């Protein structure tokens, strides 16, 4: 009978830690994509938002619009719906949280657990989601 070598017994196959990048909506990226951040965000103002009825030229800066959305979206049951496209759900989720960076795993959870329904299951891997976010040319998603 052989005894295990204590040096090899302690060795554990360590798998590399899975990357969990943070994402946000980048105003700079939207400008590079020649998209108007104000128009894009203003189009998602909740129905109860005070700025909803203002003309675009009176809306101010993007940060104040995002702050307003974060404060008012809870009153709009249709702000995020499960029948929206995946990128739209992500965009609105980031707006609702004041555009604070969110990890890939948190975004994945929002999609697959919170917004998926039996009628519209959202089955997507984190690897596929990161490719969607990295390849975005409309919403201005960017890694932090």
pLDDT of residue 57: 84
pLDDT tens, residue by residue, 49-93: 889 889 888 888 999 999 999 998 888 889 999 999 999 999 999
Contact (CB, 8 A) for 86 and 132? yes
Decide if 108 is inside a domain. yes
- Distance set, CA 11 to CA 7, 8, 14 (Å): 7, 5, 8
The predicted pLDDT at position 15 comes to: 52
The answer to whether residue 5 sits within a structural domain is no
How much is the average pLDDT of 43-51?
87
Residue 15 lies in a domain: no
Domain assignment present for 42: yes
Q: Is residue 1 part of a domain?
A: no
Task: Place 6 in a pLDDT band, splitting at 50, 70 and 90.
Answer: low
Mean pLDDT (the chain, rounded): 89
Tell me which DSSP letter residue 48 carries.
T
Q: Using CA atoms of 109, 65, 139, 18 in order, give the dihedral in degrees to the nearest 10.
A: -30
Q: What pLDDT was estimated at residue 56?
A: 83
Q: How many domains does the chain have?
A: 1
User: What pLDDT was estimated at residue 46?
Assistant: 83
Give the H/E segment covering residue 25: strand 22-25
Answer whether residue 35 is part of any domain.
yes
Domain coverage including residue 85:
21-143
Q: Say if residues 29 and 140 touch (Cβ distance below 8 Å).
A: yes
pLDDT band at 7 (very low <50, low <70, confident <90, very high): low
User: pTM (2 decimals)?
Assistant: 0.85
Let me know if residue 95 belongs to a domain. Answer: yes
Asked if residue 50 belongs to a domain, the reply is yes
pLDDT in tens, 114-140: 999 999 999 999 999 999 999 999 999
Query: Residue 16: what pLDDT?
Result: 54
pLDDT digit string (tens) for 81-124?
Answer: 999 999 999 999 999 999 999 999 999 999 999 999 999 999 99
pLDDT at 92: 97
């Amino acid at each position: 009978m052989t005894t295990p070598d204590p040096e090899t017994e302690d060795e554990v196959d360590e798998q590399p830690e899975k990357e969990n990048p943070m994402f946000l909506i980048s105003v700079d990226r939207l400008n590079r994509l020649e998209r108007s951040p104000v128009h894009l965000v203003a189009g998602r103002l909740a129905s109860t938002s005070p700025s909803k009825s203002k003309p675009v030229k009176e809306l101010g800066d993007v940060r104040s619009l995002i702050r307003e959305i974060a404060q008012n979206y809870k009153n709009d049951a249709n702000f995020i719906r499960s029948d929206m496209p995946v990128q739209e759900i992500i965009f609105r989720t980031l707006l609702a949280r004041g555009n604070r960076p969110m990890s890939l795993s948190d975004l994945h959870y929002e999609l697959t657990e919170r917004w998926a329904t039996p009628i519209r299951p959202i089955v997507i891997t984190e690897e596929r989601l990161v490719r969607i976010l990295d390849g975005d040319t409309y919403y201005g998603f960017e890694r932090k």
